[in-house]
Amino acid sequence: MKRIFVITFCVFCFCSCQFDSTHFVIHQKNIKNMCILMDKHPTLSARFAATEFQFHFKKITGAEIPVIHGDLPEDKIPVCIGESGFTRKLSISSSLFDDQEYLIRITSKYIVLAGKDMPDDDTETRTDKTVIDYSMATGEGAGSKFELPSPFDQQGTCYAVYDFLESFAGVRWYGPHPKNVVIPQHIRLKLPVTEIQRSPVLKYRFGTDIGGTIMTKQNFNATNEMNQLFLRRMRAGGEKWNCNHSFGSYKERFLTHSKEESELHESYRPEIFAKGPVDGQQQLCYTNKELIKLVAQDACNYFDGEPPVGRQVAFGNYFALVPHDNENWCRCENCTKFLEADKNNIRGGHFNNGKASRYIWNFVNEVAKIVKKDHPDKKIAALAYWNYSYFPENLELEDNISVAPCLHARHYGWATKIKENEMDFYNDWIAESKKNNRPVFLWNYYCFPTETGDILNFKVFPGFSAHLLSDQIKMYARDKIRGVFLCGVGEQVDYYLTMKMYDNPELEPDQLLDEFFQTYFGNASVPMKKFYTAIEEVYNNPANYPLEISTLDQQYHQTEELAWKYLGTDEVMARLESLIADAREKAQNEIEKERVQSWVDAVWLYMKKGKEQYINKKS
């Protein structure tokens, strides 16, 4: 990340002033002379960035700034969005930026918002286009269809516009629904002469779908189109990487006898499958040399330009190798030797361990060796997950392997032994990566505790964890983590803070939280922040849990009893009820009342129902 002269504040003023060479001043007299200046043939990113700028600027000032393509008329003051003839004269063009990099240049006479964009020739051939009704998604009615850049397109110009709107106009996207959005109104803007050139610190920032048991109601049941727009505004996406269970189609390809039996059938190869009893999905024989050659050839075919086959997982410069999600390991002689060597490589009863580490990582390594010969600049992607979480002892891994440790990030405040176990193998992977310049991604479980309750049919005590998560993100930045996949996105505040800090880990959580509650809830901000903080403190305090959780090396998840006997005690619930009542009383205008009510529905009534259900079951 480059940052050339940065002033991190903007002055909003309502007094009159003369021309100032240190500021770009916008007021009611000169705004009619402003224009959005674009290239004759702007990129998709620039076109959409201009739409977003024009929409928000009209909300801020009440004036709609026209778009001009091509040359700048003499009487116009330009806001240059994307590369254009004007910016090229300033030696600013998309090709000069690094991936995901963008520029905000504010002078007294013009503004430039531009960055690395994907050429239209590339976007036109894409088959996974996302088109939304922009008016509907922004709460303005219906009728305006716009194509969105993919989250993984180069879209530096969009990043530049979003950063400008946040940093210099005070816009905040606290969720996907228009009611989640804060757009300050100003009749005059005084912007300091500034130049910022940067890119997001974590290069990959993505996760499962926006929503969930609590978050959906906090987001006013936002539509999918709203969620898609929100992802772009949060700069979700980035580098093309994916890693997940990847052998789901091998049975159809190599354990069938004909195309009639499976369209994916290639040949009958039973020798590459696991030997021994099968309970569920059959694993592969991960020491079989023919399997290793076959998988390596699949990877090379992908890197040569062929699409992934069936349910293979591959994206960008990464081809994933992750076994099925079970322990049906092969029992042949070679596989058994590897598994026997690591059978005790586990700390207590933790989910993440090393009982199959040498077995699986040897397989990954052997494939990587073959792929490296023809594609030395490409990567084999693998997870450090479950029985193969620990770094494999006595195995020197090839440098064309990326790793993604899978971490129960929102357990760490209360389940200290889980944190110790996972930080131990995390640190092992980090230390090794520094020696080999290995790309390290992460898979973080923000789905807990809510997912446990959804599966077992009870309502959980919410896992609010803003301070815990911010500490982790700062650690990720220090350790040069390349990106994080969120398995579950948490709730409104935790997701917002996470995405902001993935972009810039130097942000301070208390400042983000203060700003969120004051800006979002207004007159009800104090009790609403106390409500969030009370839940966060109760959830993350080990003293609120049975002693065994912080002393035994075991895997724990929240149970109904933990939720409502130990966490949501009568005293805690009474305090939360009082804070909610105070917030409802203090909310003044319609939007404040609606936002408070969304948390009442999403969080408080959910918790209240959970407590009632637990009491009824016990009685």
Query: What whole-number percentage of the chain has pLDDT above 90?
Result: 92
CB–CB of 378/369 below 8 Å? no
What pLDDT score was predicted for residue 195? Answer: 98
Q: How far is 528 from 464, CA to CA, in rounded Å?
A: 13
Residue 121: the pLDDT is 81
Confidence category of residue 451, pLDDT binned at 50, 70, 90: very high
How far apart, in whole angstroms, are the C-alpha atoms of residue 384 and residue 405? 4
Q: Is the pLDDT of residue 14 over 80?
A: no
Environment class of 437 (CB within 10 Å of its CB; exposed 0-12, middle 13-18, buried 19+) = exposed
Q: Are 119 and 40 in contact (CB under 8 A)?
A: no
Mean pLDDT computed over 534-560 = 98
Cβ within 8 Å of residue 288, ≥6 positions away: 271, 272, 332
pTM, two decimal places: 0.96
Question: CA geometry: angle at 9 spanning 5 and 15, to 5°?
Answer: 125
pLDDT tens sequence across 251-273: 999 999 999 999 999 999 999 99
Concatenate the DSSP letters of all residues of 547-597 into one string.
Answer: HHHHHS-B-----HHIIIIIIS-HHHHHHHHHHHHHHHHH--SHHHHHHHH
Mean pLDDT of 453-462: 98
Ranges in the chain annotated CATH 3.30.379.10 = 23-199
pLDDT of res. 53: 98
Residue 128 has pLDDT above 80, yes or no: no
pLDDT above 60: residue 615:
yes
Integer Cα distance of 165 and 499 in angstroms: 16
Task: Give the residue, 4 or 419, on which the prediction is more confident.
Answer: 419
Statement: residue 12 has pLDDT above 60: no
To which CATH superfamily is domain 23-199 assigned? Chitobiase/beta-hexosaminidase domain 2-like (3.30.379.10)
How many other CB atoms sit within 10 Å of the CB of residue 81? 32
Amino acid, single-letter form, for residue 214: I
pLDDT score recorded for residue 518: 98
| Interstrand relation of 401-407 and 379-384 (parallel, antiparallel or unpaired) | parallel
- Residue 17's pLDDT band (boundaries 50, 70, 90)? very low
Q: What is the 3-state secondary structure (H, E, C) of 418-479?
A: HHHHHHHHHHHHHHHHHHHCCCEEEEECCCCCHHHHHHHCCCCCCCCCHHHHHHHHHHHHHC
10 Å CB burial of residue 309 (0-12, 13-18, 19+) is: middle
Q: Decide if 311 contacts 248 (C-beta within 8 A).
A: yes
Across residues 335-361, what is the average pLDDT?
A: 98
Residues 370-387 have pLDDT tens digits of 999 999 999 999 999 999
Distance (Å, whole) CA 547 – CA 414: 11
Query: For residue 178, is the peptide bond before it cis, meaning its omega torsion is within 30 degrees of 0?
Result: no
What is the CB neighbour count within 10 angstroms for residue 130?
Answer: 17
Average pLDDT, the chain: 95
For residue 10, is pLDDT > 60?
no
Tokens of 74: 């003499």
Strands 67-69 and 23-26: unpaired
pLDDT of residue 5: 36
- Contact between 600 and 446 (Cβ < 8 Å): no
Whole-number pLDDT of residue 19 = 54
Q: What's the pLDDT tens digit per position in 31-60?
A: 999 999 999 999 999 999 999 999 999 999
Share of the chain above pLDDT 70, in %: 96
| Mean pLDDT value of segment 228-248 | 98
| pLDDT on residue 2 | 46
Neighbours of 343 (CB within 10 A): 12
pLDDT in tens, 58-93: 999 999 999 999 999 999 999 999 999 999 999 999
pLDDT at 8: 39
Encode pLDDT of 476-514 as tens digits. Answer: 999 999 999 999 999 999 999 999 999 999 999 999 999
pLDDT digits (tens, 9 = 90+) for 305-332: 999 999 999 999 999 999 999 999 999 9
Cα separation, 273 vs 284, whole angstroms: 4
Which amino acid is located at 246 in the chain?
A: S
Q: What is the pLDDT of residue 18?
A: 39
For residues 281-287, give the mean pLDDT.
97
- Res. 28: pLDDT tops 90: no
Task: Using the predicted structure, report yes or no on whether residue 6 has a pLDDT greater than 50.
Answer: no
What's the farthest any 2 CA atoms get from each other in the chain? 84
Q: How confident is the model at residue 20 (pLDDT cuts 50, 70, 90)?
A: confident
